[in-house]
């Protein structure tokens, strides 16, 4: 079920001339993430934010990129039930994976501390999947994903505690955001798209939107 929407009117040059299939269409971001809203605004195209209220539960046998792909498609199928023929909906999901373990959003400060210290001094993978549904053919869902290797410096518990107390780790996969203090002070290497780590692989989304007639 989609929650109440709000309209975003980005400033700056519009990429609509490069995305002719979006003329006279309604672009919708089905996510409450402020980071995804910020990234989609880079296109300079008006869009709506309509978060989907779903429990992000997936089958136990899923691993790797299959997890965010499943969750993104689940959101897309829910969005398709209420979208109009002129709507184009983007859904997404991000997970952090370390040595086969999937780190989702921490629920408590203790969980956030455990996650951050697990990532300390190691290289992990951030996988973001996205789905795009064209209201003209709502049963056709296009899903793709992007994976990025992210390497952390060795972090002290004092640093992790400061981060947890002064930043919000609870709405971020793995308990951290690449756009804030950890990104500035802890990430020493990032192999892939920074935008993918933030929550939307914009290069792949742009390519997919270009294919819409």
In a domain, 10, yes or no: yes
| pLDDT attached to residue 55 | 85
Say whether 187 sits in a helix, a strand or coil: strand
CATH of the domain at 152: 3.90.950.10
| pLDDT attached to residue 1 | 47
Tell me the pLDDT of the chain (213 aa) as tens digits.
455 568 999 988 999 999 999 999 999 999 999 999 999 999 999 999 999 888 889 999 999 999 999 999 999 999 999 899 999 999 999 999 999 999 989 999 999 999 999 999 999 999 999 999 999 987 889 999 999 999 999 999 999 999 999 999 999 999 999 999 999 999 999 999 999 999 999 999 999 999 998
In a domain, 136, yes or no: yes
Owning domain of residue 160? 6-210
The residues annotated as belonging to the active site are: 93
Q: Rounded to an integer, what is the distance from CA 118 to the centroid of its chain?
A: 22
Give me the residues paired with residue 101 across strands: 98
| Region for 97 from its dihedrals, namely left if φ exceeds 0, alpha if ψ lies in -120 to 50, beta otherwise | beta
202 vs 122: CA distance, rounded Å = 26
The token pair at 183 is 């990104």
In a domain, 199, yes or no: yes
Number of compact structural domains in the chain: 1
| pLDDT attached to residue 139 | 82
202 vs 19: CA distance, rounded Å = 14
| pLDDT attached to residue 63 | 92
In a domain, 196, yes or no: yes
In a domain, 204, yes or no: yes
The residues near 96 (Cβ < 8 Å, ≥ 6 apart) are 102, 103, 104, 115, 119, 124, 125, 126, 127, 173, 174
In a domain, 20, yes or no: yes
| pLDDT attached to residue 4 | 53
CB atoms within 10 A of CB 144: 17
In a domain, 205, yes or no: yes
Rg (CA), the chain: 17
In a domain, 1, yes or no: no
């Amino acid at each position: 079920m989609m929650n109440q929407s709000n309209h975003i009117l980005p400033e700056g040059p519009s990429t609509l001339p490069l995305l002719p299939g979006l003329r006279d269409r309604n672009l919708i971001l089905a996510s409450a993430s402020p980071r995804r809203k910020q990234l989609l605004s880079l296109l300079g195209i008006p869009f709506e934010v309509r978060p989907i209220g779903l429990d992000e539960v997936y089958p136990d046998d899923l691993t790797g990129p299959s997890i965010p792909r499943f969750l993104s498609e689940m959101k897309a199928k829910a969005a398709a039930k209420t979208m109009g023929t002129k709507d184009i909906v983007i859904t997404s999901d991000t997970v952090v994976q370390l040595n086969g373990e999937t780190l989702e959003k921490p629920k408590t400060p203790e969980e956030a501390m455990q996650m951050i210290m697990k990532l300390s001094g190691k290289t992990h993978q951030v996988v973001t999947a996205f789905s795009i549904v064209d209201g003209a053919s709502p049963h056709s869902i296009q899903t793709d994903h992007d994976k990025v290797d992210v390497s952390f410096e060795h972090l002290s518990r004092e640093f992790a505690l400061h981060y947890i107390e002064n930043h919000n780790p609870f709405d971020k996969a793995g308990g951290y955001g690449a756009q804030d203090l950890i990104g500035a002070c802890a990430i020493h290497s990032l192999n892939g798209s920074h935008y993918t780590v933030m929550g939307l692989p914009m290069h792949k989304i742009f390519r997919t939107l270009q294919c819409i007639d």
